[in-house]
Every structure is written in C-alpha cells, then in structure tokens.
Structure 1
Amino acid sequence: MKINKDEKTPWICDKCNKELELKQVKVRYLGGNFEVELMQCPECKMVIINEDLALGKMLEVEKGLEDK
C-alpha cells in the first residue's frame, strides 16, 4: 500500500470516535461573541481550538478588553 504524503490524518473525537468536521462555531470568550471555523465532532459537538486561534485572535480580544 502506497501512502500519499499529501493526505492528512483525520482528527478523531476521543469520546465518540467520530471524525471531526470543519464547521462554523459560535464562540463566547470574555463576554465577546464571534464565529470561527473549527474542527468539531458531529456527535458531541466538542471542538478543537488550535494554537493559532488561542494565541492569535483570542489573545487579541483579551488584550483589547484589558485596554478598556
């Protein structure tokens, strides 16, 4: 069997054993509401918040609220 290096390993929910899907998810953080595209379990709705989002957009929101 030949492995294609371009194929990515799917993210699997540890609780439900379902493959995560990329979905628009409503996020509430520090009193602010916004929608972002995240990997989400189709069954239990748990999401993965990647490092870029946690250290990028969410950090921006946090700093913006601290400055007020």
Structure 2
Amino acid sequence: MTAVPEQNTPEWVCGKCGCALETKKINVSYMGSSFPVDLPVCPQCGQVYISEDLATGKMADVEQLLEDK
C-alpha cells in the first residue's frame, strides 16, 4: 500500500491495483470468534490494509484475551 497525500489526509492506494482504498466493514476472525472492523479495502482486488499500530496494538490485545480464555 502507498500513501498519497491529499488535502492534509493521506489516501491509501493499493500496491497491486493502484486503486484508492475505501473504508468498509470487514469481519476479522480469530480462534472461532469474529469481529466487525472498519478497515481500508481495495475495491478492485479486495486486499485489506491493516496498519502496524492496529496489528501490534488493538488486534494483539484481542488475540491475547482470546488465547487466555
């Protein structure tokens, strides 16, 4: 994914297709549990962008909670 600055907010672009990503509700699943999350998605190929902050922060916390059950 590539950030293209536009009017003070970056617009994320799919590295595969070159299309601008659109925020959509995606179901994220882990260990049999599913969670709806708004994430940037390529409208052409469906590739989802998960930021490093989200992956190492909130998602890692949820993963740990589920594993501790």
TM-score w.r.t. length of structure 1: 0.75
My pick for the range that moved more, 52-61 or 12-21, is 52-61
Q: Which amino acid aligns with 1:44?
A: C
Instruction: Work out the CA distance in 1 between the residues paired with 2:8 and 2:63.
Output: 35
The DSSP-based 3-state class of the residue aligned with 2:12 is: coil
Whole-Å Cα distance in 1 between the matches of residues 56 and 32 of structure 2?
A: 18
Deviations 1:8-52 (A, max 9, x none): 232111111100011111111232200111110001111111123
- Structure 2, unaligned runs of 5 or more: 1-5
Q: What amino acid is aligned across from residue 20 of structure 2 in structure 1?
A: E
Distance 1:20 1:57 in 2: 21
Aligned residues with identical type, % of pairs: 48
C-alpha distance in 1 between matches for 2:31 and 2:54? 15
Distance 2:60 2:54 in 1: 8
2:38 partner SS: strand
CA RMSD in angstroms, aligned pairs only: 1.8
Runs ≥4 in structure 1, deviation > 3 angstroms? none
Gaps of 5+ in 1: none
Q: Which residue matches 1:45?
A: 46
| Amino acid across the alignment from 1:22 | T
Counterparts of 1:67 and 1:23, CA distance in 2: 29
